Amino acid sequence: MELFPRERADPAPGVVHLPDWLSPAEQRELVAACREWARPPAGMRTVRMPNGGEMSVRSLSLGWHWYPYRYVRTVEDGDGSPVKPFPPVLGELARRALADAYGPEPTGIAGTADYRPDIGVVNHYAHGAHMGLHQDKDERVDAPVVSLSIGDGCVFRLGNTETRTRPWTDLELRSGDLLVFGGPMRFAYHGVPRTHPRTADPALGLVGRLNITIRQSGLV
Ligand SMILES: O=C(O)CCC(=O)C(=O)O
Ligand SMILES: [Fe+2]
């Protein structure tokens, strides 16, 4: 519990951070859902990069299966199973997220008028896991990315759209926080240089950090 509630922040145009957006009950429900989604077939796996390295987070996809650097309908880089369907609950959360972040009729944010999210990517950060600076650019449309954080806190590095280098802004994301990035920052570089192990509420029953991003593929 904070002495003063953390407040909404708009760290860059099109980027909105809403602390404690998910209630504790919603966080527990999402942890339970992620546990189900993580089971095989098409469950949580380690992602291998084209250079042979492995990502330190473990991931699963819903709706469309992501692996570097495209979306497909089966886990081509794993057990070959069809990807699990995109869960309606994630679509509902994402629509509510855009309304809360940008208002009921956002102007100037691409992809909000005909928003049809169809991808969920769940990443689990064990202690010591991180994610290097990258762009989410395998989607074919520029609808905003909705990001939900559950469990341990982390440093989220929000870079710029031009380079993988500075300038960047480091944000602190904690359990229940919503981050939306769209508009001019939709294709900004971003990453998670570190998490803060054991900062989650033990009542969550989660070790490490979960991040769920909800996206629109623009694929049919
Ligand atoms: O874990 C996060 O907050 C970011 C995850 C991310 O950037 C991604 O899944 O593409
Ligand atoms: Fe990303």
Closest approach atom of ligand 1 to CA 211: 1
Nearest CA to ligand 1 atom 10: 136
Radius of gyration of the chain (CA): 16
Ligand 2 centre to CA of 188 (Å) is 9
User: Would you state the pLDDT for residue 2?
Assistant: 72
Q: Which of 125, 89, 77, 57 is nearest to 214 (CA)?
A: 89
Write phi, then psi, for 53 (nearest 5 degrees): -70, 165
Q: What value of ipTM does the predicted structure carry?
A: 0.99
State the average pLDDT over residues 41-60.
97
In the predicted structure, residue 53 carries a pLDDT above the cut 90:
yes
One-letter amino acid at 112 equals: T
User: Would you state the pLDDT for residue 50?
Assistant: 95
CA distances from 107 to 103, 117, 173, 183, 203 (A): 9, 19, 26, 10, 40
pTM given for the model: 0.98
* CB-CB contact of 174 with 149 (8 Å): yes
**How sure is the predictor about 38, in pLDDT bands with cuts at 50, 70 and 90?**
very high
In the predicted structure, residue 135 carries a pLDDT above the cut 70:
yes
State the average pLDDT over residues 178-184.
98
Domains of the chain: 10-215 (2.60.120.590)
One-letter amino acid at 113 equals: A
